[in-house]
Structure 1
Amino acid sequence: MSNDTDTNSTETHHVTFLGRGLALRSSDRLTLLICPLCSQRNGARIAALGTCVWCGYEPSPRDEEPVTMAHTCGEATTII
């Protein structure tokens, strides 16, 4: 039997952008929850678009970093 149905396409994980902001990353989508540039929180509909409604920031995949224990103090802890 093939493992084609056993993919991680629906699995998401939290990421930051050079240690700022907060987003959810899946294999095919980025949901920008908190903008790393202006620090504003995006609403659910806009967050799903992957850009900041406040300042127009478009995240670069090269700046993405997985959320680690160092990032989970303060604001990120209350969101996750």
Structure 2
Amino acid sequence: MSGRAEQRRYEGKSITSTFEAGRCLHAAGCVRGLPEVFDPGERRWIRPDSAEAERLAEVVRSCPSGALQYALEE
């Protein structure tokens, strides 16, 4: 076992976001920035298709820990 936290993928039509819980600082910038995408009260807490891909990418880039990452779909 590598000790690395599991990374979860949340695929959308235009963008895929990944989340690594072990790195998260719980600053909640994602939830404040795009509450329609990031809802920690839901089982699938990231819904990439609920906002424009570039706006989601902007919020993910502001993640202070790097727990959130993204890839634009081609």
Give the TM-score normalised by the residue count of structure 1. Answer: 0.30
Higher helix share: 2
Give the TM-score normalised by the residue count of structure 2. Answer: 0.31
Structure having greater relative contact order (Cα 8 Å, sep ≥ 6): 2
